[in-house]
Amino acid sequence: MQQESLKGHLSIAAAYTIFGLNLVFCKDIANSQTVSPYVLFTLRAIGASALFWLLSLFMPKEKVDKADYPKIAAASMVGLFIPQMTFLMAITVTSAIDTAIIGTLGPIFTMIFAFLFLGEPITGKKAGGVTLSFAGILFLIFNSVHEGGAASTSPWGVVLLLINSLSFSLYLGLFRPLISKYSVITFMKWSFLFSLIVSLPISAKGLLTTDYAAIPGNVLWEIGYLIFFATFVAYFLIPYGQKFIRPTLVSMYSYLQPIIAAIVSIWAGVDSLTWQKVLSSVLVVGGVILVSRSRAAKQS
């Protein structure tokens, strides 16, 4: 049990570390204004679908129950299409600090959805851990250099970010039994295929009219990272980790993203290491440990 729990923690931590770097790259891609959010999402879906279906050819065949196809399609919309699309749209109309602040609501929403749909109790340790990490990450946000994104946040941007957070939290809280039923490869190849089918009519014109030759070289590399690491690799690791640890604990690792972004900023010389950042990181990690020791987490 402990070994399985460790697999879950390492998988989710790796996925959100990838997302932390991706947060920086997505801002660069958006600021380049060479690829629309719709086209970017579809490129991610094409790349991930191709890679997961290719990988499935080398894996044992797994039959999906006919009754589960609509459920996987719903999971694809709630866990892939809506969160990714709303985020890519939101970063063009929200400031970096507001994006980060609204993103901190995810674990709170997930804790509520896990209670409603999975009967995962909200224990004192779990609520305390979420609160501790929430306080730590807000402290980090307000004591960091905030660059990129829009100059100000539009009301539409706030709505998009709230939808993003609610949608992915619902995915974590509602679809864990379905995810646990199938292998990661089987579940994700169908999930990305459904997302691709939905996105193609929306982005078809943009895919054909985008001037790919005008995309700067560094942005092309960032798009490549987005497709392979932040889509294919990360979305392999998340459902794998979900098999071993509870939804609230999975969502807690989203607090790694601002920490990773801060580390990248420090390494790039646009930010500096301060006692506030160290304290924030300690609070976040402490909250994750507290949630992992809660009674509900031990049931996983």
217: exposed, middle or buried (Cβ count in 10 Å: 0-12, 13-18, 19+): exposed
Q: Write down the residue that tokens 């049931």 correspond to.
A: 299
Token couple for 214: 């005008």
| Residues 48, 232 contacting (CB under 8 angstroms) | yes
DSSP state of 273: -
Range of the domain at 11: 2-298
Radius of gyration of the chain (CA): 19
Q: Which residues contact 140 (CB under 8 A, 6 or more apart)?
A: 258, 259, 262, 276, 277, 280, 281, 284
pLDDT number for residue 258? 77
Residue 27 has what pLDDT? 77
Bridge partners, 95 (sequence order): 149
- How does DSSP assign 141-164, residue by residue? HTTS---SB-SS--HHHHHHHHHH
pLDDT given at position 175 = 94
Q: In total, how many domains does the chain have? A: 1
Both tokens of 100, joined, read 């980060």
Could you give the CA distance from residue 99 to residue 103 in angstroms, rounded to a whole number?
A: 6
Terminal C-alpha separation, the chain: 9
Given a cut of 70, the residues of the chain with pLDDT beneath it are 1, 96-97, 144-152, 270-271, 295-300
176-202 pLDDT, tens per residue? 999 999 999 999 999 999 999 999 999
CA–CA dist 36, 203 (Å, integer): 9
Q: Which two tokens stand for residue 118?
A: 């999975």
Instruction: Read off the amino acid at residue 120.
Output: E
Distance CA 140, CA 280 (A): 5
Query: Which tens digit of pLDDT belongs to each residue from 87-114?
Result: 989 888 887 667 777 888 899 999 999 9
Among candidate residues 89, 71, 45, the one with its CA nearest the CA of residue 232: 45
- Please, where are the H alpha helices in the chain? 2-32, 37-56, 69-76, 82-90, 96-103, 106-118, 124-141, 155-174, 176-181, 184-209, 217-227, 234-242, 247-252, 256-268, 275-292, 295-298
